[in-house]
Amino acid sequence: MTLSSGIVSPESTNARGHERNPEAPVEHAAEPLLPMPFPLEARTLTGKRVCVVIPAYNEEAVLPRTHAALADVLNRSGVSWSIVFINDGSRDRSAGVLEALHRSDPHVGYILLSRNFGHQAALTAGLDHADGDVIVTMDADLQHPPEMIPRLLAAWAEGYDVVHTRKLTTEGLSRWRDVLTRVAYRLISRISEVEIIPHASDYRVLDAEALDAVRRLPEHARLYRGLTPWVGFRQCVVPYVAAPRAAGTSQYGLKQLVSLFARAFFDFSRLPLHLGLWLGAGALALSVLYLLFILAWLLLGESTPPGWASSISVTLLLSSVSLVFSGIIGVYVARIYDEVRARPSYVMSRFRPPEPDSTGE
What is the three-class DSSP state of 241?
strand
Strands 134-137 and 49-56: parallel
Tell which residue, 81, 209, 59, has the closest CA to residue 136: 81
pLDDT tens string for the chain (361 positions)? 334 344 444 444 444 444 444 333 345 678 888 788 889 999 998 889 999 999 999 999 999 999 999 999 999 888 899 999 999 999 999 999 999 999 999 999 999 999 999 899 999 999 999 999 999 999 998 889 999 999 999 999 999 999 999 888 766 556 766 676 667 667 766 766 667 777 778 899 999 999 999 999 988 888 888 888 889 899 999 988 877 655 555 555 566 667 667 666 666 666 777 777 777 777 777 777 777 777 777 777 666 666 665 666 667 667 777 777 777 787 788 888 878 888 888 999 999 999 865 554 4
Residues 6+ away with beta carbon under 8 Å from 158 = 5, 30, 40, 42, 43
pTM for the structure as a whole? 0.73
pLDDT at 253: 57
| b/e code 218-229 from CB counts within 10 Å (16+ = b) | eeebbbbbbbbb
Distance CA 293, CA 302 (A): 12
Question: Could you tell me the CA-to-CA distances from 75 to 30, 100, 146, 359 in Å, in that order?
Answer: 23, 20, 12, 11
CATH of region 31-251+345-352, choose from 3.10.20.30, 3.40.50.720, 3.90.550.10, 3.60.21.70: 3.90.550.10
CB under 8 Å to 155, separation ≥6 — which residues?
30, 163, 205, 236, 238
User: Residues 60, 66, 70, CA angle at the centre, nearest 5°?
Assistant: 155
Q: Which of 15, 67, 27 is nearest to 154 (CA)?
A: 27
Q: Where are the domains of the chain?
A: 31-251+345-352, 271-341
Answer whether 140's CB lies under 8 Å from 67's CB. Answer: no
Q: Which residues of 54-73 are buried (b: 16+ CB within 10 A; e: fewer)?
A: bbbbbbbbbbebbbbbbbbb
CA 39 to chain centre: 26
45 alpha carbon, distance to own chain's centre: 26
What's the pLDDT score for residue 109? 95
Considering Cα of 176, then 182, then 187, then 191, what sign does the dihedral take?
positive
Segment (H or E) for 149: helix 149-158
Look at residue 115 in the predicted model and tell me its pLDDT.
Answer: 94
Edge-to-edge strands of the sheet including 49-56?
31-32, 235-242, 162-170, 204-207, 134-137, 49-56, 80-87, 108-113, 348-352
Q: For the chain, count helices (H), then strands (E).
A: 10, 9
User: What secondary structure does DSSP assign to 278-338, as a single string?
Assistant: HHHHHHHHHHHHHHHHHHHHHHTT-SS-S-HHHHHHHHHHHHHHHHHHHHHHHHHHHHHHH
